[in-house]
Structure 1
Amino acid sequence: MQKIQVIGLREQLEKAMTFLQERNVMEVKELSADITSRINSATKHDHDLELKLANLDFAIKLLSNYEKNSILPSPIILNATNMESIAKTFNYEEAIKQAQRLEEEMVGTKNRLTEIQQDEKALEPWKNLSVHLDTPHVTRTSKLTLGVIGKLDYEKFQKSLSDLGLNIDFHTVSEDQSKAYFSLIYLLADADQISGLMSEYRVQEAELKTAEGSVKQHLHAIKKESTELTHQLNKTEKELAELAKNLDSLKVVHDYYLWQFVREERKNLTGETEYTFVLTGWAKKGALKALKGDIKERAEGVAIVEVAPEEGEEAPVALRNKGFMKMFESVTRIYGLPLPTEIDPTPLLAAFFIIFFGLCLSDSGYGFILFSLTFIALKFLKIPEESKGLIRLLMWGGLVTFVAGIIFGGWFGLTPEQAPSFLTKMVPGANGEEVLGFKGQLINPVGSGAIIFLGLAFALGIIQVLVGLMIDGYWKIKDGAIMDAMLDSFLWIIFLVSLLSLGATGMIESLTPYARLSKNIALGLTIALVLTQGRKSKSIVGKLGLGVLSLYNVVGYFSDVLSYSRLMALGLGTGIIAFAMNTIAGIMVDLVPYVGFIIGIIVIILGHSLNIALSTLGAFIHSSRLQFVEFFGKFMEGGGKDFEPFTRECKYTHLKD
């Protein structure tokens, strides 16, 4: 990365900004305090663009609810020319007006529908009320009360009311499971007695809206209006569905104006005088030469100048992997980017990750399905470029899984006896007899090969740990810290290898004669570590103390290696679960007459689909975890800031070159 300044005539600012946005190779930064103290900083804000984007967002969000969804929706992938053409020819303003009008109609209709539905719910218990809704409840001599009482108290209330011996007109209007609804007309002179009795039995007075006619007539009018409103709502929704056919065009227009909005926002980071402007940021070194030449052709009088970073300023990081290695960047980015002074770990993790992934799945059938699905997706679906990397990684992971499955005899959890004949052959058994086995199988992970599988996992762990230390040493030498590389990296590599050699002489009989030599080498290297690992301490006691304590790092290295046993655990787990699904399906076939076969097929399909999904997720997570913890920790700190170039940002579409 190279820090640069773009300087030119103010009248060329728009052309320069448009050019830089198209080229996608410069990250625009705020001007330094030194520059802003001498010139004015631009603080423009385009409210029209902001409002336009807000209206487009509103229309897109609204119409998305009425879009015809396909099973496999295709993303919108267009080049800049096509997007500009659509934005300039499509009448998006009219579409927004229609969307706003229809939304207002729909909200109004829904609110009215909700209102009358509430009225209907309130009036339904009173549909048999003989009194009209516009009848006065209080006259000079009497009062009408509509009451609601709990069902359990209703009979007692009626008896108590009768015992009062008053001149009343009482009618039960309706009853439901928990309540009773009644009308009561009584003289005002008896109001205190009636009111006291109603309070005693917790009677609630109902207040119905005043309207002409009876409750039945009003309910009929409500139902009629409800039907009309529902019809109107359906009509509005159909119009919205018709308008939603323009959704793709609205999305294109939105992103076209988003480019302009982003450009205006970046202009706020420029410094301006009466006649000139200055813009600062970072650019990729490889693109700088072409950038300098091309900008002069697009914006006359504009120049790019290389400048030194400020003290403590850290450059952004852009990973530069091509071809096969590009897809592994998705793994690196999960962990985080390296610092500008660190090596890009992407090409270093590639081989380890893909092998670990295959070992974690270790089923040829699953590998074939994973490869086929991802291959079809890449071939026939419109997938955004930024998502293709991960899918390609899974595709290659499926291919490696297929090979690993052949080596370990994994075919959908089938035993050789259950598998088709073209997958099997007669092989020598443990006692020399001929037994049925899988073609190409070299290791039986659930039999005698379990220890071999575990040993393979540990061997891969040892190799990756040592490679991590080698990278650390190489990078220290490149930075000029040769002594640190020799004593903190390569000395540990030799020491760990000597410990492995010492262990091998004790386990392998043919290496026994070298046991004494291995022991002496390991002892000598131990002394070397004690004498060198505390070298940065000022006191002799500190040097020796830190040297002795450094030997404890051996535990950490062996702990790292033990972590690789997860490769075996996940590989076995995939096969065991697959075998269990086959067993359950077989039991269903035998257990349930007639339909057992169908149930078995369902168990097979659902069970294996779930196992493929979970095992693939587990393989990806644990293979990544081994890179992040056991590998990256040896040579990389991480925490780099991603390079965010000034580009034509898209929210709903994908721009292709």
Structure 2
Amino acid sequence: MGIAKMKKLTLLAEQKEKDSVLVAMQAMHNIEVISLKEAFSEGEEPELIALHFEERKETVGQLTQTLQDIRYAIAYLDQFVPSVGMFKSLKKKRPIYSLADLESRVKEIDYKKLLHRVDYMEQTLTRLNEKLKELQKEEAFFRQWQNLTFMPSDTKAFKHFEILVGTVETEKAQVFEAAVNDLDTAYAEDIYQSRDTWGYLLVTPVDELEACREIQQIYGFQPLSYQEKGLPKDELQANLSEQKQIIHKITEEKESLKKYHETREHLHLAEEYFYNMREREKAKELMIHSEFVFVISGWTEADKLPGHIEHIQAMCDNQSIAFFETDVQEEEIDDVPTVFDNPEFVKPFESITAQFGMPKYNGFDPTPWYYPFHIAFFGMMSADLGYGLLLWLATWYALRTFELSKGMRLSLKMFNQLSYGTMLFGLIFGSFLGFDLPFRLLNLTDNVILVMGISVALGIIHMILGYGIKIYLAIKVKDYVSAYLDGAQWALILLGVAVIAINMVFFNIAWLTTAGLVLILGNILGMFIVKIFSNENKLAGVGQAAFGIMDVASVIGDLVSYTRLTALAVAGANIGMAFNLILSLLPPIARFTIGVILFVLLHALNIFITYLGAYVHTMRLQYVEFFGKFFESDGRRFNPLKTLEKYIWTKKS
């Protein structure tokens, strides 16, 4: 229980078995391939013993580009191909393929042709949309000038008048018009008005051309450049007709794309295939090769190693493969990945540890130790039998009915277990959907101080456990000073606080109070003694011990954090009761009609808020008050050679 024992599996095989070996490893999802370049001592060239490393960057780059093209095409089709509802998609069973079957299927569907087809459809739609935007821009122009009843080019025939059509910025338009009309015989008439510009017709006699042109220059008059063959109103009608045709074509293309269900599914398979192939090509860079043989090495769980060897032998020619098992060496500790090994009921909580950080291979997995506290803390803060039943039913139904990824399944299993804590404390506090049950052990409202005491008591046990783990880890590396100063000292001080508190509440025995004070004061004195004797500079040891006393405030702050267990429990319960009280004030008809809907909605909101607060604060208590005492996250995750499994499941054989 904790961290799985790892072994290194090294395999020597003929070159003809290389792809078969990689396929067998990838299908198992349980061997992390490692680089063998470091197997050569410094200064030794692999060529001297007829071995070499393959450069696969070009192949990997090509496969990555193919993957990007496929994913882009899938994302594009997702915009048009109707998707099934969320529940239907979750219920839909994924197909199961072996890697060989997947390869055969992808070769049958001709993915390049599918990509070309999607690309052609995209380009067609892009051209149509660009043309439509261009026409819409022209439409705005024609609408502005549709009151123009003559062609601007026809005005050049007049000898005694200059007739111009053009625009002026809106803020200058009225002043411009007044200036032109103030001339003796010149004339300005607006044709259109918009937010940015006004369109004008200017008629100017030859003898006032100079004055009118000066006004045009002052106010920024821009002559109209009109290149169309017809009048604006006629061009507008033609434009609208062409837009209608293009919109119809766009609609047809989009309707056509809606039928690309099969194409998208085929591209899903192609994405799976090329991702798997790229990962195998990456693994080839980590091997050692010669003309006839290759060597590959990787980490895997020791108890699964015999099964892996058997599987590889079954998938390949057993006569041409040699297997070598190696235990983890001391110098390899930092390179070994961490794999958790816990009972099935604890496994869903491993993700909480992993989110904080991975312990080292030879480190300590705290998951099974905080597991019961996690359920208790979450349950105490949510504390309602009805809410717990709803959470249990929702997660049970999802686990039983939906096709879920491994990660999602573990998350739902975790919340399914958390529902038991919610139901248990719901029974203890006698709450069901905000209503009082006819039986209870504690009244949350009337016994707030007692419940808060229980919260702090749980916190003390939780923190002492964290300090206990610190003591164990420090003694393991023979760091006895740290075992006392960072672990035993604070655990004993907390024990002293607990003894005094329990005595005050239940017994009121003088010697128990004395014992608690001895534990507290004795360990504060012990801190000074250990600091002084473990420090070469005794005066500095005294100073460090004096500063160490300030950590008492930090410990008190940690204890206060556990009172939020009670605060959130009271808040959730009172909000639920308040909702029920409000609904009970409605008239009977409203209570059993709209009141039912409001009941569901209001309690759904309270469930969300309650569970969110319980989840976040439980995580905080683990990460700060527990992990902070001992946890070192300097390990790394296990990264095995595996398949994508985004749209399908992969079988080993």
TM-score (norm 1): 0.86
Deviates more, 1:438-447 or 1:233-242: 438-447
User: Does the CA-based 8 Å contact 2:186-2:202 persist in structure 1?
Assistant: no
Q: State the partner residue of 2:352.
A: 331
Indicate how the Cα distance of structure 1 residues 594 and 194 shifts in structure 2: closer, same or farther if over 3 A, else same: farther
Alignment partners' CA distance in 2, 1:76 and 1:255:
16
Q: State the partner residue of 1:58.
A: 72
User: Does the CA-based 8 Å contact 1:56-1:250 persist in structure 2?
Assistant: yes
User: Does the CA-based 8 Å contact 2:333-2:361 persist in structure 1?
Assistant: no
Q: State the partner residue of 2:142.
A: 123
Deviates more, 1:282-291 or 1:513-522: 513-522
1:542-621 correspondence runs (5 A) = 542=540, 546=544, 550=548, 552-585=550-583, 589=586, 600-621=595-616
User: Does the CA-based 8 Å contact 2:385-2:431 persist in structure 1?
Assistant: yes
1:532-584 CA-to-partner distances (Å, cap 9, x unmatched) read 35543224545565556555544443332221111111111112222333345
**Given the alignment, which residue of 409, 421, 440 partners 1:388?**
409
1:481-516 CA-to-partner distances (Å, cap 9, x unmatched) read 578657764465445324432444455445235444
Q: Which amino acid aligns with 1:573?
A: A
**Quick check: 1:30 aligned with 2:44?**
no
Q: Which amino acid aligns with 2:191?
A: V
Deviation at 1:177, TM superposition (A): 7.2
1:169-188 CA-to-partner distances (Å, cap 9, x unmatched) read x6543345785433235466
Share of identical aligned residues, percent?
24
Q: State the partner residue of 1:404.
A: 425
Alignment partners' CA distance in 2, 1:442 and 1:385:
39
User: Does the CA-based 8 Å contact 1:357-1:397 persist in structure 2?
Assistant: yes
1:516-555 correspondence runs (5 A) = 516=514, 519=517, 524=522, 526-542=524-540, 546=544, 550=548, 552-555=550-553
**Quick check: 1:635 aligned with 2:630?**
yes
**Given the alignment, which residue of 166, 170, 175 partners 1:147?**
166
Q: State the partner residue of 1:420.
A: none
**Given the alignment, which residue of 229, 236, 247 partners 1:230?**
247
Deviation at 1:360, TM superposition (A): 0.9
Alignment partners' CA distance in 1, 2:477 and 2:182:
106
Q: State the partner residue of 1:421.
A: none
**Given the alignment, which residue of 636, 643, 647 partners 2:642?**
647
1:309-328 correspondence runs (5 A) = 310=331, 313-328=334-349
Deviation at 1:412, TM superposition (A): 2.5
Indicate how the Cα distance of structure 1 residues 656 and 553 shifts in structure 2: closer, same or farther if over 3 A, else same: farther
User: Does the CA-based 8 Å contact 1:296-1:303 persist in structure 2?
Assistant: no
Q: State the partner residue of 2:271.
A: 254
Indicate how the Cα distance of structure 1 residues 222 and 12 shifts in structure 2: closer, same or farther if over 3 A, else same: same
Alignment partners' CA distance in 1, 2:284 and 2:204:
80
Residue ranges of structure 2 left out of the alignment (5+ in a row): 1-5
Alignment partners' CA distance in 2, 1:90 and 1:270:
32
1:33-52 correspondence runs (5 A) = 33=38, 35=40, 37-39=45-47, 40-44=52-56, 45-46=58-59, 48-52=62-66
User: Does the CA-based 8 Å contact 2:532-2:539 persist in structure 1?
Assistant: no
1:113-512 correspondence runs (5 A) = 113-132=132-151, 135=153, 138=156, 141=159, 143-149=162-168, 157-166=176-185, 172-175=190-193, 180-186=198-204, 190-208=208-226, 210-292=227-309, 294-296=311-313, 298=316, 300-304=320-324, 306=326, 308=329, 310=331, 313-414=334-435, 416=436, 438-447=437-446, 449-479=447-477, 485=483, 489-490=487-488, 492-512=490-510
Alignment partners' CA distance in 2, 1:521 and 1:231:
86
1:119-141 CA-to-partner distances (Å, cap 9, x unmatched) read 000110111211137x3564684
Indicate how the Cα distance of structure 1 residues 517 and 619 shifts in structure 2: closer, same or farther if over 3 A, else same: closer
User: Does the CA-based 8 Å contact 2:80-2:254 persist in structure 1?
Assistant: yes
Q: Which amino acid aligns with 1:609?
A: A
Q: Which amino acid aligns with 2:557?
A: S
Deviation at 1:253, TM superposition (A): 2.1
Alignment partners' CA distance in 1, 2:286 and 2:206:
80
User: Does the CA-based 8 Å contact 1:145-1:205 persist in structure 2?
Assistant: yes
Alignment partners' CA distance in 2, 1:53 and 1:176:
50
Q: Which amino acid aligns with 2:132?
A: L
Indicate how the Cα distance of structure 1 residues 656 and 189 shifts in structure 2: closer, same or farther if over 3 A, else same: farther
Q: Which amino acid aligns with 1:41?
A: F
Alignment partners' CA distance in 1, 2:362 and 2:532:
25
User: Does the CA-based 8 Å contact 1:362-1:405 persist in structure 2?
Assistant: yes
Alignment partners' CA distance in 2, 1:633 and 1:654:
39
Deviation at 1:196, TM superposition (A): 1.6
Cα RMSD for the two superposed structures = 3.3
Deviation at 1:145, TM superposition (A): 2.1
Alignment partners' CA distance in 2, 1:404 and 1:485:
36
Alignment partners' CA distance in 2, 1:162 and 1:533:
98
Indicate how the Cα distance of structure 1 residues 365 and 174 shifts in structure 2: closer, same or farther if over 3 A, else same: same
1:268-308 CA-to-partner distances (Å, cap 9, x unmatched) read 22232333333344222222344345545525234335374
Q: Which amino acid aligns with 2:453?
A: G
Residue ranges of structure 1 left out of the alignment (5+ in a row): 417-437
Alignment partners' CA distance in 1, 2:503 and 2:170:
92
Alignment partners' CA distance in 2, 1:197 and 1:596:
76
State the secondary structure of the residue aligned to 1:148. strand
State the secondary structure of the residue aligned to 1:322. coil
Indicate how the Cα distance of structure 1 residues 207 and 519 shifts in structure 2: closer, same or farther if over 3 A, else same: same
Indicate how the Cα distance of structure 1 residues 154 and 485 shifts in structure 2: closer, same or farther if over 3 A, else same: closer
Alignment partners' CA distance in 2, 1:475 and 1:53:
46
Indicate how the Cα distance of structure 1 residues 638 and 455 shifts in structure 2: closer, same or farther if over 3 A, else same: same
Indicate how the Cα distance of structure 1 residues 153 and 600 shifts in structure 2: closer, same or farther if over 3 A, else same: farther
Alignment partners' CA distance in 1, 2:573 and 2:473:
41
**Quick check: 1:110 aligned with 2:129?**
yes
Q: State the partner residue of 1:427.
A: none
